Chain A
Amino acid sequence: GAVVSQHPSRVICKSGTSVKIECRSLDFQATTMFWYRQFPKQSLMLMATSNEGSKATYEQGVEKDKFLINHASLTLSTLTVTSAHPEDSSFYICSAEQALANEKLFFGSGTQLSVL
């Protein structure tokens, strides 16, 4: 089946630094990718929807200047957490929608971000 590679799987950084998370569709083209975050014992929350070649659409309450999303190609989307703080520590997951395949979503394995 289709594979989405998310990297890194775990990252620890100092407060104030920026962290980039990559999401790649390995064997299909993804016109749309989604970014989620999950706090312990809470739901996966959709943060933003990114479409290749255009600006991401952010969900209410998500700071677009804090969470920069770039979807420069049909196989790669990146999420950059800028000036990270401890409250940004969370589990981040991406998913990719296979082009022309409605309701076909493939997920990365997630990134655990810990900000010290």
Chain B
Amino acid sequence: GDSVTQMEGPVTLSEEAFLTINCTYTATGYPSLFWYVQYPGEGLQLLLKATKADDKGSNKGFEATYRKETTSFHLEKGSVQVSDSAVYFCALAPFTGGGNKLTFGTGTQLKVEL
């Protein structure tokens, strides 16, 4: 079945550092890929998504590119802030348009310090 693997946390960075959180997936067909973020005490929120190969999703300075050849969707941000401290979940939906039955990764906790 479908699966998502993301790097274990916690990841601790200094403010303004570069962030990469790795995510790889296994799926048949052409899944849609997502990054969700969960701030303390809140529900998961959609951060960005990509629905086909080579698409780049971006939001709030975060980016991720759908790489079919490496089955990856790594999350990056050039300069993190303390307010980015949260748990980040990579997820896939089996196909575009059928997309709410999500398969998630384990989540990666990010801590950004001054």
Interface residues of A (CB under 8 A from B): 1, 4, 6, 9, 32, 34, 36, 38, 41-46, 49, 93, 95, 97, 102-103, 105-110
Q: Contact check, B43 vs A102: say whether CB atoms are below 8 A apart.
A: no
Residue in B43, B97, B106 whose beta carbon sits within 8 Å of that of A43 in the complex = B106
- Determine whether B89 belongs to the interface, using a CB cutoff of 8 Å to chain A: yes
A42 to B38, CA, bound (A): 16
- Chain A CB count within 10 A is highest, among B99, B101, B105, for B101
Q: Contact check, B43 vs A106: say whether CB atoms are below 8 A apart.
A: yes
Interface residues of B (CB under 8 A from A): 4, 8, 32, 36, 38, 41-46, 49, 89, 93, 96-97, 99-107
A82 to B89, CA, bound (A): 29
- Chain B CB count within 10 A is highest, among A32, A49, A95, for A95
Looking at the assembled complex, report how far the CB atom of B65 sits from the nearest CB atom of chain A, in whole angstroms.
19
A-B contact count (CB 8 A): 57
A20 to B106, CA, bound (A): 25
Q: Contact check, B102 vs A105: say whether CB atoms are below 8 A apart.
A: yes
A36 to B102, CA, bound (A): 10
Q: Contact check, A105 vs B103: say whether CB atoms are below 8 A apart.
A: no
Q: Contact check, A103 vs B44: say whether CB atoms are below 8 A apart.
A: no
Query: Nearest B residue to A94 by beta-carbon distance?
Result: B43
Residue in B4, B42, B49, B96 whose beta carbon sits within 8 Å of that of A109 in the complex = B42
Q: Which residues of A contact B99 (CB under 8 A)?
A: 102-103
Q: Contact check, A102 vs B97: say whether CB atoms are below 8 A apart.
A: yes
Q: Contact check, A36 vs B97: say whether CB atoms are below 8 A apart.
A: no
A105 to B103, CA, bound (A): 13
